[in-house]
Structure 1
């Protein structure tokens, strides 16, 4: 019997049925590849970092969701590869047990396709998430072929999401886009900005600090160059002042020499005049001398 058949048979369960204990451990098999693990960890890391100040959500990957007292594990159904529940307490859990979580199901589910699970993810799981979980946003992604699709629940049925110009799909529940970046699925903000990991944030901060340091160093160099130019200008001004002073001194010396020459000329003129007077007294014509 498949899980879907089990769900149909559960409609007649009595209200006083005894549910299994709530602290059930997850019973998921190992992930199929390292790339599957990397994809799940990347989404968890980015979302938890983005919502690090929030305590009203739960996000997990490859974790069992227990939702039925008659639930059995089978090859046809496993827990979601990645899911997010909103409006719940953010704490560590062994698994997600619906009847211990006020009947809450995931708001967002993402399945990572593989050769052995793709048909189930596109078929049975999509049906269960639509009809039983009533999960509003459902996505699947293949990290090898880059197949990516998303659906939003409208009037009880999944409707395909239309991609943006960048090829991103909008999650109504998360308020974020999902899109392929460097071969893996990443979150993007409403304005198209990549949601970084903590490491990327630290690297960006380091780059910004390095750029700020470089800018400060360049500013210091420019200030030093300006100071050197100012000093050179000051030196030139001082040299010009000294040259002006020397020119003034030379002009003063020339004036003094001119004055001395004028005085000598005046003295010579006075001597000539006295000599002329003496010659006239001696009845000697000065022109005959």
Structure 2
């Protein structure tokens, strides 16, 4: 989402002794959930949706025990609300929560102090410095988000970090295919060249632990339709061959 300044302290004096994300007084119920800022390009918007669809597909298609936010605000302190600072990641996953609960934003005080388990930012010239700097520090030092990934347009660069026992991010090393393993997602993150929503690009995709591509619902349906068509074509070919053989036998009996 749109870039903004993130300060060191995000809690009021009264809040400073409480766990991060826990508020002393009730928060307003009419928090903004849309700043009108669109994602940088169709590639950015479609990549976020493709990653979301891929995670849903990899985990049974039902968001009953996890939540995925796309370009969605994350609220965590009064100071942030007062100063209108920091909006939210391009995509984040929170595990072991009710994903069917309707949400306009993620507010930590409404979610038992829970923060995202995985955050993915899709880099652009206008956000890259903050995504790799202030936001990375925020996710590491305050959110304690276990994994953080940054993906450049057309997946020209893919970077990832995992929070270590020292509560610092440590870079993830790619495999021979340039993919990064996500312990939290249970999948590899890598690149795939192809057509999605009518546009051909190099897209960020999820891959199963064995390296096979996680197919989204449209791809599964297309494969099913192709398989049915192949079966129908094979059956038609067999019937044609049988009819041809039957005609040959009939012709022979008339001789």
Q: Which TM-score applies when normalising by structure 2?
A: 0.82
Q: CA shift at 1:64, angstroms?
A: 0.7
Q: CA shift at 1:128, angstroms?
A: 0.9
The runs of at least 4 consecutive aligned structure 1 residues that moved more than 6 Å come to none
Gaps of 5+ in 1: 240-289
Greater fraction helix: 1
The answer to which of 220-229 and 97-106 deviates more is: 220-229
Q: Indicate if the aligned counterparts of 1:24 and 1:94 stay in contact, CA closer than 8 A.
A: no
Q: Which TM-score applies when normalising by structure 1?
A: 0.73
Q: Indicate if the aligned counterparts of 2:11 and 2:79 stay in contact, CA closer than 8 A.
A: no
1:210 is aligned to 2:217 = no
CA distance in structure 2 between the aligned counterparts of 1:23 and 1:200, rounded to whole angstroms: 39
2:73 is aligned, of 55, 64, 67, to 64
Q: Indicate if the aligned counterparts of 1:129 and 1:135 stay in contact, CA closer than 8 A.
A: yes
Q: CA shift at 1:214, angstroms?
A: 1.2
Residue 39 of structure 2 aligns with which residue?
31
Gaps of 5+ in 2: 194-201
1:119 is aligned to 2:137 = no
Residue 187 of structure 1 aligns with which residue?
206
Q: Indicate if the aligned counterparts of 1:24 and 1:97 stay in contact, CA closer than 8 A.
A: no
**Residues 125, 56 of structure 1: alpha-carbon distance in 2 compared, 3 angstrom cutoff:** same
CA distance in structure 1 between the aligned counterparts of 2:155 and 2:213, rounded to whole angstroms: 22
1:175 is aligned to 2:186 = yes
1:6 is aligned to 2:13 = no
Structure index of larger Rg: 1
Q: Indicate if the aligned counterparts of 1:151 and 1:159 stay in contact, CA closer than 8 A.
A: yes
Q: Indicate if the aligned counterparts of 1:19 and 1:69 stay in contact, CA closer than 8 A.
A: no
1:108 is aligned to 2:118 = yes
Q: How does 1:237-252 map to 2 (within 5 A)?
A: none
**Count of matched residue positions in the alignment of Structure 1 and Structure 2:** 234
**Residues 100, 179 of structure 1: alpha-carbon distance in 2 compared, 3 angstrom cutoff:** same
Q: CA shift at 1:54, angstroms?
A: 4.3
- The 3-state SS of whatever aligns with 2:8 is helix
Q: Indicate if the aligned counterparts of 1:36 and 1:143 stay in contact, CA closer than 8 A.
A: yes
Q: Which has the higher contact order (CA 8 A, sep 6+)?
A: 2
Q: CA shift at 1:132, angstroms?
A: 0.9
For the aligned residue pairs, the C-alpha RMSD in angstroms reads 2.5
The answer to which of 142-151 and 175-184 deviates more is: 142-151
CA distance in structure 2 between the aligned counterparts of 1:131 and 1:103, rounded to whole angstroms: 15
**Residues 201, 88 of structure 1: alpha-carbon distance in 2 compared, 3 angstrom cutoff:** same
- The 3-state SS of whatever aligns with 2:153 is coil
List per-residue Cα deviations over 1:231-289 (Å, max 9, x = no partner).
567x3xx97xxxxxxxxxxxxxxxxxxxxxxxxxxxxxxxxxxxxxxxxxxxxxxxxxx
List per-residue Cα deviations over 1:27-54 (Å, max 9, x = no partner).
4422222221111122222323443134
The answer to which of 223-232 and 171-180 deviates more is: 223-232
CA distance in structure 2 between the aligned counterparts of 1:144 and 1:207, rounded to whole angstroms: 28
CA distance in structure 2 between the aligned counterparts of 1:44 and 1:145, rounded to whole angstroms: 16
Greater fraction strand: 2
